[in-house]
Amino acid sequence: MYKAKFLSPMIPSFNIPETVSFFKDFLDFTIHADFNDYVILIKDNLTIHILHAGPDIGEMECYLEVDNLNTVWEKMKDNLSGIPHKSPFDRDYGMREIHLFIPETRMLLFIGQQISQA
């Protein structure tokens, strides 16, 4: 038996610096390693890998659960011009969520906080 330590999304980007800036500026990730065409970001022991997207990249989704969705929303809400998003809303399954597309990718990011037991 083994212990799983991390499961990190690998996000293909058409513009790595812009995608990295989104995670740094909106979600407070920092650069752990930068190889120009491959960047690893980290926050609270969570990592995200950003790599160059090829022409046939498909869509993907990722869910980031946080302990204070309002703090995240306050940080980003005034800077989402041009970024498709859905403001915080409550879900039937007990989560409050924000939905948005990560710039220069085909990735939908769900950010959520548990508000009740489903």
What CATH number corresponds to the domain at position 72?
3.10.180.10
Residue 110 lies in a domain: yes
Task: Give the confidence band of 34 by pLDDT, cuts at 50, 70, 90.
Answer: very high
Residue 59 lies in a domain: yes
pLDDT for res 59: 85
Residue 1 lies in a domain: no
Task: Give the confidence band of 2 by pLDDT, cuts at 50, 70, 90.
Answer: low
Look up the pTM and report it.
0.82
Task: Give the confidence band of 57 by pLDDT, cuts at 50, 70, 90.
Answer: confident
Cβ atoms within 10 Å, residue 15:
13
Q: How many domains in the chain?
A: 1
Residue 4 lies in a domain: no
Query: Would the pLDDT of 47 be above 90?
Result: yes
Which residue range(s) make up the domain with 87?
10-114
The side-by-side arrangement of strands in the sheet containing 46-52 is 10-13, 46-52, 38-43, 30-34
Residue 87 lies in a domain: yes
**Whether 95 contacts 49, CB under 8 Å:** no
